[in-house]
Chains A and B, each alone.
Chain A
């Protein structure tokens, strides 16, 4: 029993509603998320490139600071 037919969308209608209304918005948000992820990975790579691989490679003055 569905209350006054409300919410009686067929399973196929749900993606239609979401995509039709929000398709371009979803596309933009998706691209933003991908770019942010890439930025995070790039930042992590940059950070790991700056961090010495092991204490043996670190200069004594850096080790004390």
Chain B
């Protein structure tokens, strides 16, 4: 047997934050908090007129007219902050895929735009709370002093931003307990994404609160107000789409059927709300906004910053589906939401099926068609109902309280049930494979090297058309740090590499299988990792290895032996925080919708 490897990868620490990084970060946020507090206090006590002049200037501008300046100024700050955080998030994910784990919470440059973007989001909410003068925030506002009422949208924005930020330090605590979880769907990572994405609901409410007293002419919205609403709903689509990022990059650690569920839910929720709230063409316009911003971020992270590029869902078929249903059912919003969601989950996803064949590293296959379509319909219908509720709330047309609550609860539970189904995986029994490989091309002895050859399985690894049978290498470094090769089937038990696979250096290269609920992997090469006490797994010709749960390889840094109750407690803490956020957003929409409309 020949071992084709090689030099050890440089050690990357796997522990918590170095203290110098913590000191820098603490100093920065202390200064920012003090500056924000001083600014807001000076405004409320009348010592400065700067913010009042800014508000007046916003109200005088053509682009921002139609809503009070105390709402549009924080909204602009929040949108800028969100886009900053979005760039950071995709940059961060690309770095993790192409390079590997962080050397500390602040050693990764992408964490800075995330941190300052999310802080800016929460600070925008604080600004929205402080800006309105006496009575300006309308009847849904929350009174805090004799002459000061805070818009509920501002409170939600502050809370959503804080919730997202809470994921940042909790992530470090999580790493101490469980080890680093190099996956987007780590619980604390979901807090970061969820808080940022759902802050758009708070922004929509804030916008509506700022609209009070700014009634325009009846009929179609002026172009600038149309664009403002499109920006908020397009932003909501972007926020809800971040959950799909592992699929966009081509290294999902979960079943492929979850991708249609996520796409259908995000599309139906955002686009149904857009069509109802924005008006004719609103769904398509929201997708155009999405494509410009999200596509721009992909271009920035990929070609400009030189990291692993990410694909983008098309969403055009879903938008056209919503616009089509609107021709018949717009007068019955809940029915419109449900019917649109059903069409999004079928016809809309059919266009995504075609799009994945062109644009995605891991295209959808017939393996995911039936279950993916079912989950897509569940996600679409639930998302459509939630989108309709959101739009009705923003228009103060919510149905009776019990009906709203029931629709909200059932739709949320349906999405959760779909997620639970998608997360359930199995591992094939006693499946092994033998590496039949040799060096490819260059005869250099330094890492990385490339191998070509075949993989011989102990039994047929898949039945029929699988979701994927690949050799995947990642964390090899930079833009070329990801390698995914769909193996060519030579016989039921023999597959061939179609291009040389990288091994050595920091590459983590493995055979990945996904067929039905089976999700497993077998190492081809893993570097020695002193920080987590793991030895090298060499790429040895003729070696036979067993398949196991793939997260054991993809999340090699996770600590073994952590008791199950600790996972449960930690998961419940994150779940409780998430439930508080979702319920708070529901309360905010309801409070605004049921408050008395100004005459």
Contact = CB atoms under 8 A, between A and B. Distances in A.
A27 B25 CA distance: 18
Interface residues of A, number: 29
A58 to B, nearest CB: 29
A26 interface: yes
Contacts of B25: 16, 20
A28 B45 contact: no
Contact of A34 (B17, B41, B566): B41
A24 B145 contact: no
A23 interface: yes
Q: How large is the interface on B (under 10, 10 to 19, 20 to 34, 35 or more residues)?
A: 35 or more
A19 B33 contact: yes
B33 A16 contact: no
Interface in A18-65: 19-28, 30-32, 34-36, 38-39
B29 A28 contact: no
B22 A20 contact: no
Contacts of A31: 37, 40-41, 44, 130
Contacts of A1: none
B177 A13 contact: no
A34 B145 CA distance: 10
B169 A24 contact: no
B162 A25 contact: yes
Contacts of B23: 12
Contacts of B176: 5-6, 8
A28 B159 CA distance: 12
Given A4-B177, A13-B17, 12 more contacts: A5-B176, A12-B22, A16-B169, A22-B162, A23-B119, A23-B122, A25-B122, A27-B37, A27-B126, A30-B41, A35-B45, A36-B144
28 contacts: A5-B176, A6-B173, A6-B176, A8-B176, A10-B19, A10-B22, A13-B17, A13-B22, A19-B29, A20-B119, A20-B168, A21-B166, A21-B168, A24-B119, A24-B122, A24-B123, A25-B126, A25-B158, A25-B159, A26-B37, A27-B37, A28-B129, A28-B130, A30-B37, A31-B37, A32-B148, A35-B41, A35-B148
Nearest to A12: B22
A21 B165 contact: yes
Contacts of A22: 162
A15 B34 CA distance: 13
Contacts, number: 105
B141 to A, nearest CB: 13
B113 interface: no
Contacts of A19: 26, 29-30, 33
Nearest to A35: B145
B451 interface: no
Interface in B216-249: none
Which of A23, A32, A39 lies at the interface centre, i.e. has the most chain B CB atoms within 10 A of its CB? A23
Which of A8, A17, A23, A27 lies at the interface centre, i.e. has the most chain B CB atoms within 10 A of its CB? A27
Given A6-B173, A6-B177, A19-B30, A24 B22 contact: no
B250 interface: no
A57 B115 CA distance: 63
Contacts of A36: 144-145
Given A20-B115, A31-B130, A15 B26 contact: yes
Contacts of A24: 33, 36, 119, 122-123, 125-126, 158, 161-162
Contacts of A4: 177, 562, 566
A33 B30 CA distance: 19
Contacts of B401: none
Which of A24, A34, A36 lies at the interface centre, i.e. has the most chain B CB atoms within 10 A of its CB? A24
A27 B169 contact: no
B146 interface: yes
Contacts of A38: 45
B414 interface: no
A39 B146 CA distance: 7
A35 to B, nearest CB: 5
A45 B159 CA distance: 36
Nearest to A10: B19
Contacts of B41: 30-31, 34-35
B118 to A, nearest CB: 9
B29 A23 contact: yes
A14 B332 CA distance: 51
Contact of A27 (B22, B33, B562): B33
A49 B168 CA distance: 52
A24 to B, nearest CB: 4
A41 to B, nearest CB: 12
Which of B115, B145, B161 lies at the interface centre, i.e. has the most chain A CB atoms within 10 A of its CB? B145
A20 B37 contact: no
B29 A26 contact: no
A5 B14 CA distance: 14
